[in-house]
A and B are shown apart, each in its own frame.
Chain A
Amino acid sequence: MGVFAWLKGTKIVNKFELKVAWRHLLTSHGQTELTVGAVAVGVLLVVFLSSLINGLQVGLVEDVVGSIPHVIVEAASHEAKPLWQMPGNGGNAGAVITKVEKMSSQKQKISEWRRMCETISMIPGVQSAAPSAVGSGFASRGAKNVGAVIFGVDPAEELKVKSFAARFVQGDFSKIDQQNVAIGIKMADDLGANIGSRIRVTSNEGVTQTFRVAALFDMGIENANEAWVYVGLSAAQGMLKIGKDITTINVRGRDLFSANRIANQIRTFTSLKVSSWMESNKAFLDTLKAQNSAALIIQTMTLLASAFGVASVMIVFVVQKSRDIGILKSMGATATQIQKIFMLEGLGVGVGGALLGSAIGTGLCFIVQNTFLPGETFGGKPATLVPMAWDFKYVMAASLVAVVVGLMSSVIPARRASKLDPVEAIRHG
């Protein structure tokens, strides 16, 4: 009744129109319940599907992005410049006539990284920027050797740029330093190592250092579990022979999908190589977009079906109320008043359906969200029956659409009611 009271206050409708509409809705012998139910099912599905799709995407994105930073800033590789290019027009313009060989042996590093980290941190939307020294090598224990990607990080800083704390299945990531290392579960399996075991890590620069395994992780990615080795930043700097420099700055934005904007802003003040997770995972993002489009189509169809349901019941309602319409007209009711009565009924159905659908949809989401599958994880968190990520904005959006659907579905029946000939309506109503 709150919406009706508000409408009355706006003077768009008067007490008579509100009263007749309200009484019609209350005494419709099941038709109100039917139409409100149709809208509620639409809203319920939109809320549930949105939460489901969002839950799936959050889980997938967590799996893909959780173990990588949103933006990576690396030292630009030194590209050899051709000495001469052929001048010309059209297809020959800018044709390179000198073969360029990549210089792979030269180590790329960032010297002024502290200042760079501070500058990046000041970009709006950036949550944190952390230094990292990354290089290749291998890890060994006894006679067993496996290839390794060495990440030298400050664990506290690294946890600020990657949301992977939950992926450490044993030990304590914060303990990694000059003597302690974190490795993947696959590497630990391959080397026969466990927490407290000692392993040797040798960089491609030929520096070997012995570490104690302080933590084991499961990133959900085979390659990472097999080859990633986290050591202290200074240990990596020594092993990679880069002195006090670093190779990479990892950046985390407050919003996952602001990565491209942040990357572009970093590009404006540095010649370093900048890449965002969105640029590196374009195919994945395209899949998410396709999934969103599919969900949108399903939701639109659902609401359209609700709209047709409401419209058809409203038309039947108008036919049933024909005589009443004729009587009201004989008492001086105008066509506009009659139209408003039936549009108010549509609005009432929309509001009722939105409230009911939101309540049931939200309840369902919370039930599913809190039903866990024992021993399984998704997105680094305990797996639920179906991954859900309920958001109030879905309820608001679905409710708003439902109210509009209710109102719009009543337009044609309301116009039909307003145009009824009172004589015919009274005689044949």
Chain B
Amino acid sequence: MDKRKMPVVKTVGISKRYGEGVGTWALRGVNFDVAPGEFVAIVGASGSGKSTLLNMIGALDQPTSGAVYINGQNTSYLDENALAALRGDTLGFIFQFHYLLNEFSILENALMPFSIRKGGPSRDDRQWVEELFCRVGLQDSMHCRPKQLSGGQQQRGAIVRALANRPKVVLADEPTGNLDSRNGAMVFDLLRELNTTFGTGFVLVTHDDRLAREAARIVAVEDGRIVANYCVEEVEREASQLRHSEK
């Protein structure tokens, strides 16, 4: 398969059960993939399984059955160190809260992936991260500790950290959930812009249907199953054609 078209993340019939015995099924036979540079929104009610799905495709958790492929590698066959390497090299994470390390400045936080994987950032890495800080409007605050910043600034710092190691896909779990509507919209616009500018793929878990509609593809999860998976552009085109034909 052409590597450029090969999904960065792909799940094949993954299920996840919590607890022993019958337990609780959080996911049931989910098939899902993310192409390079794609912007996907996962929507669903609380407890529908969308965050569990995100953890599976982020190799933070292992499915009870089925397989998760990241960069073509089946994560079931990888040991803990290989999984860590895969996360560090391929994926970026943004959470509902910023979860920046309070002992470090946001610049040091953003450079952390390089320290973890390579022992430290190169000059190019540093330039790239500083450019990202300029993009998100934090060029004057990057030496501040997280506690010295507002909630919106903290989340933008977390976005820079997620993008620092040039991941193929950024997995964002309710990245605007803890922000007011103005800051939420700002952060979402920023993610869209970064997706367009750098071609980084995004998988976004959100409750906010209005924001989800801005994504290229929407995946709806209900009771651990994908109940809808459609391309926003295609739907809109079909709707438009329908409107034309009705006229």
Contacts and interface: CB of A to CB of B under 8 A. Distances in A.
Interface of A: 14-16, 19-20, 23-24, 26-27, 323-324, 327-337, 421-423, 426
Contacts of B113: 331-332
Contacts of B115: 14-16, 19
B141 interface: no
A328 B87 contact: no
B19 interface: no
Nearest first, the 10 closest Cβ-Cβ pairs linking A and B are A332-B88, A16-B115, A23-B103, A334-B84, A330-B93, A27-B103, A14-B119, A422-B60, A331-B113, A334-B81
B148 to A, nearest CB: 14
Interface string B54-95: 010010110000000000000000001100110111000101
A355 B237 CA distance: 73
A422 B83 CA distance: 12
B47 interface: no
Nearest to A329: B84
B143 interface: no
A323 B101 CA distance: 9
Interface residues of B, number: 27
A422 B87 CA distance: 12
Contact of B99 (A27, A323, A336): A323
Given A16-B120, A19-B115, 4 more contacts: A329-B84, A330-B60, A331-B161, A333-B116
B117 interface: yes
A28 to B, nearest CB: 9
Given A327-B101, A423-B55, A426-B99, A16 B119 contact: yes
Contacts of A27: 102-103
Contacts of A15: 115, 119-120
A324 B101 CA distance: 6
A332 B85 contact: yes
Contacts of B81: 334-336
B104 interface: yes
Contacts of A335: 80-81, 84
Q: Which of A24, A330, A422 has the most CB of B within 10 A?
A: A330
B101 A330 contact: no
